[in-house]
Amino acid sequence: MEIAHDVVVAFSKSWGLFYLVGFSLCVVAYAYWPGNRKAFTRAKMSVLDTDDRPLGDRPLGPEA
């Protein structure tokens, strides 16, 4: 039990840091990736759309 505890502590104190830094870099890269810009802008504007119907892929009913 003692050893297991020490191992876990050592592991989290060393690798824990690197994993967190690496993870943060990935997140920031994703958020600022130029290719994502269009999708993000679209998402942010799409909320304001007032059209309150699903976009259908099936035969539309009489009202549509």
Question: Residue written as tokens 């824990």?
Answer: 16
Sign of CA dihedral 27, 29, 30, 31: positive
Torsions phi, psi of 7, nearest 5? -65, -45
Among 2, 34, 35, 54, binds other proteins (CB under 8 A): 54
In the range 15-34, which residues lie near other proteins by CB under 8 A? 20, 23-24, 27-28, 30-32
Q: Alpha-carbon distance 23 to 4, whole Å?
A: 26
Binding residue (CB under 8 A) for other proteins from 3, 4, 9, 35: 9
Contact residues toward other proteins (CB under 8 A) are 9, 12-13, 20, 23-24, 27-28, 30-32, 39-48, 52-64
